[in-house]
Structure 1
């Protein structure tokens, strides 16, 4: 068994409003490179909270997280932000595109911030990602003028722009009609076949059944052995 690309050990998380409540209870899991994993459970079970911890977007927790051989727990915020931008692509349920920017400009933003390439190279790379999503013909449209399904495809292209080690998605089809949900599901499956590591949170059992492994959560605990032997 190859080395895990992501390993979390004994993650506990508390909310404090309106009163102290433990939402995650010593959650441990590991994800292998190239795995397509779905996390399922009823609303309020902690699955999205877990994903935000794994993505380093939330750093207020107990336990440890290692990604790509780096212990990200405790990293200074500036270092963590750069690590996140370089190694993790995140797709939200609501795309969070900037409506006054074109699709192409939205996709370019994380790469411009990372600064590994010059602007022409970033633009070419962004067009390649939009082409992969079959959105290249809409590259110069304002993102606010695109349909919900189109916006989500642009959001996936944005998540891919820095060629991250892991793609994480929180209910990526949850805000879409069935036709667009199927398109997004097929895109993520194709990305998985290209040896991308993908972790999704979803309520859609049919979608989850198309992934390599389903991790079930109940009341902040995992119901499936999530650490590989």
Structure 2
């Protein structure tokens, strides 16, 4: 198996109101084509860990390697470019721009990257929407769509730059059971058919237990790395 992400001895401290070690010697690997949720009680450090792995927080010790490249130590500009090229993000709150259509929201990361022309970017965005059965809503304002539809738009946006890893923070937190199942099926398909690594922080144990393996955290430690 080919590693998509490797974390080695990650430690993270919060310094206010007093010093607190929130992550303690975290080490694990996620392989390409693997769908892995991270579970644990609130406050265990799982969202903090995802923030480090996504390169948004660089105040830690240890090393993070993504797609064979050590990202620890890169400059903020280098990290911003790396994120846009290699990582797709899906959050509990979809963060779509309400005044933009579904299609325009999906196109934004690709337009920023500048790898394709605007016409080709639009074509690629439409293809992503088609795969997620959202093409009929492409020209509608994102604010006019349901919560489940908006989350599918957010997933399409995360995929537009062909990332090799998807990082999701409570992606089903605001969804009903039907849409939760749909998001699970999408992530499962992305991992097993497209070879994308999917790492998802979640409180939803039913969602998690159906994945390839589950990483469980407690008090800043990994207590179970899964199989």
| TM-score after normalising by structure 2 | 0.96
Q: Deviations over 1:93-149 (max 9, x none)?
A: 100011111110110000001111000000000001111111111111111111111
Deviation at 1:40, TM superposition (A): 0.5
Unaligned runs of 5+ in 1: none
Deviation at 1:169, TM superposition (A): 0.6
Residue aligning to 1:33: 32
Q: Deviations over 1:139-172 (max 9, x none)?
A: 1111111111111000000000001010111110
Residue aligning to 2:3: 4
Q: Deviations over 1:170-206 (max 9, x none)?
A: 1100111222212212211222221221111111111
Distance 2:3 2:190 in 1: 19
Q: Which moved more, 1:182-191 or 1:75-84?
A: 182-191
Residue aligning to 2:12: 13
Q: Which moved more, 1:55-64 or 1:40-49?
A: 55-64
Residue aligning to 2:170: 171
Report the count of equivalent residues: 226
Residue aligning to 1:203: 203
Q: Which moved more, 1:14-23 or 1:151-160?
A: 14-23
Asked if residue 92 in structure 1 is aligned to residue 91 in structure 2, the reply is: yes
Distance 2:196 2:225 in 1: 22
Q: Secondary structure at the match of 2:214?
A: strand
Q: Secondary structure at the match of 1:31?
A: strand
Distance 2:196 2:3 in 1: 13
Distance 1:34 1:184 in 2: 16
Q: Secondary structure at the match of 1:66?
A: strand
Deviation at 1:218, TM superposition (A): 0.3
CA RMSD in angstroms, aligned pairs only? 1.3
Residue aligning to 1:78: 77
Q: Secondary structure at the match of 1:23?
A: strand
Q: Secondary structure at the match of 2:57?
A: coil
Distance 1:151 1:122 in 2: 20
Residue aligning to 2:50: 51
Residue aligning to 1:136: 135
CA contact (8 A) 2:7 2:64 kept: yes
Deviation at 1:18, TM superposition (A): 2.3
Unaligned runs of 5+ in 2: none
| TM-score after normalising by structure 1 | 0.95
